[in-house]
Chains A and B, each alone.
Chain A
């Protein structure tokens, strides 16, 4: 087991380099540099001042030297300083947003797990019933709804017309004056719509997958054996079939991490949540290179770790994998 983990960790090193190379190339090969943003609108900027600025940011050195310098800093967890007016270290800026995005994503994953798996299992067990067919319709809808549309619709319905939920931010203005219970309720109310929006697509996907998986399992010989032995139907399904159907579900969850992170841009921008997605969006708008590169790398790293966790849990759960 430990060997398996070590092997995977080693395998991640070339991946890490690949990620840094791609991130670096993507940013530096695109036209427009951070200097132009800061200087174009300033009529007093002379050519020398511009050159000095370029030297200051190290943009005048050849690409591979810039890359080498960047990676050197990366490994010591120094992501540089933001190009924006506050010039704070990139790592700090990302760290304060990271927990929020991760928190929302974890909640989404919980929601997905909680709802999608039973949906899929029941659809499979009662195949072609009304429940199954309406779930299929629901899944199709879930795949097709653009998240930003869903976010807007929810906002209109629950935020504006019905006034049940707040439509932006993480907490209300009078948060500090609320009792602890009300504080909790306030936070929950703010998070409800973003989590729902974030989880929606994944929910559809996973319930579909869990359904087809369960269908396959029910047809296996060992299920027939269990029934032939006289076990009650519920024992057959919930004790034997269910366990086996959970295995691949774990990997799917790991694979959906990049989707969740990428999707955070949209709902965080709409619901004004100060998370990683929103930081990325404003950094992109401002051409804040260090923050953009830092977020790309951290996003990819999170994905890698998500995959690793998924693989490890899969190995934990399915002994056949470990023996390799």
Chain B
């Protein structure tokens, strides 16, 4: 009994949620592989001018439609441009679109979800009806219609994807707010005279962000898929700017003679989306038993 060590007591101070999260995260192989992939992507995107062997617009008519070779590791397209270089340059588009579109959707979703969850009543009713209506639309149809009318540009694409992907986040945040609203520490904040805005931003919001993080990560993957689909159909990033999606259009047009034009850009999309999915799942697993 007298041997109760002081060290044991000292070592038992509870670790902050962030530390716990980080420890669990590191152990999760999924999450780590996801981060590795995404880090690689970032390096490609940021250092593109130094990594890419050729210029993205280097048209060489003599070398059109060459299969992969030592000179062009992934072959050349129908205008003689090196596919590998265009893929490296194209990573910039994908990452940018992913981030901005998701930021927009998170901003809208958190705002509406918080409003609905905190104030309840008719505000909640109206917002949730709106969410239901938006969820009824085949999202891709909506996006197609708006973008096609509006002369596509990368910013418009990001805006429209953001405007059509906020519903899931809104529901999540609303659910979190509904449950957190009644907790003791919020009652305490109110009793101490906290104003609504203060309570929302300083107390409830930070605690509700964990699932939003997962949603955001998976959302980046989704946004990248949507942007490439749009570019593939010709209503996204316009050639000659390289986007993995519009490189696949060339793949489709030359499908019988140039398989590499279809394979590599699509593979790039695939790996990127995989990376973000793995990261998102990893975060989800790391968060789950610990912070709840």
Report B-chain residues with C-beta under 8 Å of the C-beta of A231.
none
A89 within 8 A of B: no
- Contact B138 A258, beta carbon cutoff 8 Å: yes
Q: Of residues 142 to 162 in B, which have CB atoms within 8 Å of A's CB atoms?
A: 142, 144-146, 148-151
Query: How many angstroms between the C-alpha atoms of A15 and B135 in the bound complex?
Result: 10
Query: How many angstroms between the C-alpha atoms of A140 and B133 in the bound complex?
Result: 30
Report B-chain residues with C-beta under 8 Å of the C-beta of A141.
270, 274
Interface size class of B (residues with CB under 8 A): 35 or more
Q: Which of A156, A296, A299, A307 contacts B255 (CB 8 A)?
A: A156
- Known contacts A149-B262, A149-B269, A280-B144: does B277 contact A144 (CB below 8 Å)? yes
B252 within 8 A of A: yes
- Contact B269 A146, beta carbon cutoff 8 Å: yes
- Contact A32 B137, beta carbon cutoff 8 Å: no
Please choose the segment from B8-16, B79-87, B228-236 that sits at the chain A interface, where 4 or more of its residues have CB less than 8 A away. B228-236
**CB-based nearest B residue for A28:** B149
- 0 or 1 for each of A119-152: is its CB under 8 Å from B? (1 = yes): 0000000000000000000001101111111001
Report B-chain residues with C-beta under 8 Å of the C-beta of A285.
148
Report A-chain residues with C-beta under 8 Å of the C-beta of B252.
148, 152, 270
A14 within 8 A of B: yes
**CB-based nearest B residue for A260:** B138
Report B-chain residues with C-beta under 8 Å of the C-beta of A19.
133, 136-137
Q: Which of B263, B266, B278 contacts A140 (CB 8 A)?
A: B278
- Contact A300 B136, beta carbon cutoff 8 Å: yes
Report B-chain residues with C-beta under 8 Å of the C-beta of A265.
140-141, 144, 233
Chain A interface helix/strand/loop/mixed: helix
- Contact B248 A26, beta carbon cutoff 8 Å: no
- 0 or 1 for each of B238-260: is its CB under 8 Å from A? (1 = yes): 00000000001001100110010
B129 within 8 A of A: yes
Report B-chain residues with C-beta under 8 Å of the C-beta of A262.
138-141
- Known contacts A26-B145, A31-B149, A141-B274: does B138 contact A299 (CB below 8 Å)? yes
Query: How many angstroms between the C-alpha atoms of A270 and B252 in the bound complex?
Result: 8
**CB-based nearest B residue for A20:** B133
- Contact A281 B138, beta carbon cutoff 8 Å: no
B→A interface (CB under 8 Å): 129-130, 132-142, 144-146, 148-151, 221, 225, 228-229, 232-233, 235, 248, 251-252, 255-256, 259, 262-263, 266-267, 269-271, 273-274, 277-278
Instruction: Please name 8 further chain A to chain B contacts, defined as beta carbons within 8 Å, in addition to the given A144-B271, A299-B138, sorted by A numbering.
Output: A15-B133, A15-B136, A18-B133, A19-B137, A262-B138, A266-B229, A292-B145, A296-B142
| Complex A-B: 13 CB contacts under 8 Å | A19-B133, A22-B134, A23-B137, A30-B150, A32-B149, A144-B273, A146-B225, A148-B228, A149-B270, A156-B259, A160-B255, A258-B136, A265-B140
